Chains A and B, each alone.
Chain A
Amino acid sequence: MIQEVPSFNRVALWTLIKREMIRSLKIINQVIWPPVISTLLYVFVFGLALGSRIQTVQGVTYAQFLIPGLIMLQTIDSSYGECSSSVFQGRFMNSIQEMLIAPMSAFEIVFGYVLGSLARAILIAALITVLGAVLVHTWPQNWLLYFGVLCMVSILFSSLGLIFGLMAEKFDHLAVLTTFVITPLTFVGGVFTSAAMLPQVLQRLELVNPIFYTIDAFRRSYTGESFLPPWLSLSVIALLMVVALGIALRMMAIGYKLRT
């Protein structure tokens, strides 16, 4: 069975992606259904009940306005959660050693985790997109923008998850970024409100919230309107994605907390 060792181990990359997908499906009640159910609840409570008192936002009903924001919320949460917990668990159980002793490069390991996480994010986004279409009759108008933003945001937060999964000393540490940074910034980043509704001071503050750019650009794929020009949002997201991915690759390459 001994074969030539390729300079790019694509079989290993695919094996890790598949492993991450199996992991997601094994814990489906923990990682796939909760975001779908909570989206359903947001739509009923905020969109259909309270939202019926709001006329239109960006030319659509409030419930329709909510859907793209909720997809981003769940994409961010799922991507970070998948990578951070999978990497940390691998370190904790030492099962990550199976990859570390194999002919796998840092690139293959990082992309295996990130693309596995992206697959989960796409599945969740697809389920919520269907919910949006069925419940409030909204769907993306610009699929290229929809997938472009979805993929970049998922890769950005998967990379952050990987970084924190490598740095954490206990499970509790993984929650630090979500509790104190991601969740607050996501909620004030335009999931529930349009920046146009905010006073000017808060509008300026939104510009230092990176999550605002992700939601604003993604919502444009549904409504065709955005607060910021799309090139600006896409550039900010791409820049953050490249930086986070670069840090994750570097940490894996030096074997941060993996190789002594």
Chain B
Amino acid sequence: MSAPAIEIDHLVKRYGDFTAVEDVSLRVAQGEFFGFLGPNGAGKTTTINAIVGLAQPNSGAIRVFGYDNHVEWREARRLIGLAPQEYNFDRYLSIRDVLIFQAGYFGLRGPKVKERADMLLERFGLASKAKDEYTRLSGGMKRRLTLARALIHEPKLVILDEPTAGVDVELRLELWQLLRDLNGDGLTIFLTTHYLEEAEELCKTIAIIREGRIVTQQSTESLIADGARLQDVFLELTRA
């Protein structure tokens, strides 16, 4: 049996006296489109940061495709692409170089990387801006560049933190289709979003976190069985 894309066991993360994540355990199967929902400050970003190595857990274990992200960190990180909510591109590089340099940090270089960068720029509608700096892109283009950068090293898992925050309806639908296509190609997607219709539309499985604890993890289908709306289920589970 293949290892889960993400396997979190009893994760605890504290900041001083504040416990951001309390005994979180999760399994995300390979190839899954997984939604990770919760109100602001519930522990979503802390959990993501712990998966990608930006936060150091107080206790618990995280494995990515079977690799312990603390011990076998190089192997684990190699398999993850992160699209953060905030734009954090290198301002000294052109858009094409943002992708090529990111691949470099992942240990990849050469003509294949350049070809893949050009392919991604084409696929995400950024080819005409390849030589520009990111500051010259529109908000929607920056979102797409965030996603392209997360994919440049061909990860097996992509973590998307609010990928459609602040974009118009048209672009949101376009991004949804892109994400569906990527998932269709076998990519595991771990998505956080405040748009519940987005989670309902895209995710096969949903976990909801409240005050650092997982309150449910089940298939989207069973979560909204009997005609329930995800919004109502979410509010019921996350109200104090």
Interface residues of B in 60-86 (CB under 8 A from A): 73-75, 77-78, 80, 82, 84, 86
B106 interface hit (Cβ, 8 Å): yes
A interface, how many residues as a size bin? 20 to 34
Q: Assuming the A-B contacts A97-B88, A101-B80, are A3 and B108 also in contact, with contact meaning beta carbons closer than 8 angstroms in the complex?
A: yes
In the assembled complex, the Cα of A12 lies from the Cα of B101 at a distance in Å of 8
Min CB distance A216 to B, Å, is 37
In the assembled complex, the Cα of A259 lies from the Cα of B49 at a distance in Å of 9
B181 / chain A contacts, CB cutoff of 8 Å = none
B153 / chain A contacts, CB cutoff of 8 Å = 1
Q: Which of A5, A23, A95 contacts B107 (CB 8 A)?
A: A5
Q: Please state if A102 and B105 are interface contacts (CB–CB under 8 Å).
A: yes
B49 / chain A contacts, CB cutoff of 8 Å = 260
With both beta carbons as reference points, the residue of chain B lying nearest to A14 in the complex is identified as: B104
Q: Which of B105, B149, B156 contacts A12 (CB 8 A)?
A: B105
Min CB distance B42 to A, Å, is 16
Q: Which of A5, A15, A18 contacts B75 (CB 8 A)?
A: A5
Min CB distance B14 to A, Å, is 10
In the assembled complex, the Cα of A118 lies from the Cα of B240 at a distance in Å of 56
Interface-lining segment among B28-36, B51-59, B124-132, B203-211: B51-59
B176 interface hit (Cβ, 8 Å): no
A11 interface hit (Cβ, 8 Å): yes
Q: Please state if A94 and B88 are interface contacts (CB–CB under 8 Å).
A: yes
B interface, how many residues as a size bin? 35 or more
A95 / chain B contacts, CB cutoff of 8 Å = 88-91
B84 / chain A contacts, CB cutoff of 8 Å = 94, 97
B105 / chain A contacts, CB cutoff of 8 Å = 12, 15-16, 98-99, 102, 104
Min CB distance A86 to B, Å, is 9
A103 interface hit (Cβ, 8 Å): yes
User: Chain B, 138-182, contact with A by CB distance < 8 Å: what is the 0/1 string?
Assistant: 000000000001000110100000000000000000000000000
Interface residues of A in 4-43 (CB under 8 A from B): 5-7, 9, 11-12, 14-16, 18-19, 22-23, 26
Q: Please state if A2 and B154 are interface contacts (CB–CB under 8 Å).
A: yes
Q: Which of B53, B74, B93 contacts A22 (CB 8 A)?
A: B93
Q: Please state if B107 and A6 are interface contacts (CB–CB under 8 Å).
A: yes
Q: Which of B55, B82, B101, B109 contacts A19 (CB 8 A)?
A: B101
Q: Please state if B109 and A103 are interface contacts (CB–CB under 8 Å).
A: no
B102 interface hit (Cβ, 8 Å): yes
Min CB distance B62 to A, Å, is 14
In the assembled complex, the Cα of A26 lies from the Cα of B90 at a distance in Å of 13
B112 interface hit (Cβ, 8 Å): yes
In the assembled complex, the Cα of A251 lies from the Cα of B46 at a distance in Å of 21
A93 interface hit (Cβ, 8 Å): yes
Q: Please state if A103 and B73 are interface contacts (CB–CB under 8 Å).
A: yes
B73 / chain A contacts, CB cutoff of 8 Å = 103
Min CB distance B118 to A, Å, is 14
Q: Offer 11 A-B interface pairs, CB within 8 angstroms, sorted by A.
A: A1-B112, A2-B78, A5-B75, A12-B105, A19-B92, A22-B93, A98-B102, A98-B105, A103-B73, A259-B55, A260-B54
Q: Footprint of B on A, CB under 8 Å?
A: 1-3, 5-7, 9, 11-12, 14-16, 18-19, 22-23, 26, 93-95, 97-104, 255, 259-260
Q: A7-B74, A22-B93, A103-B75 are known contacts; what are 9 more A-B pairs with Cβ within 8 Å?
A: A1-B108, A2-B154, A19-B92, A95-B88, A98-B88, A98-B102, A99-B105, A103-B73, A103-B74
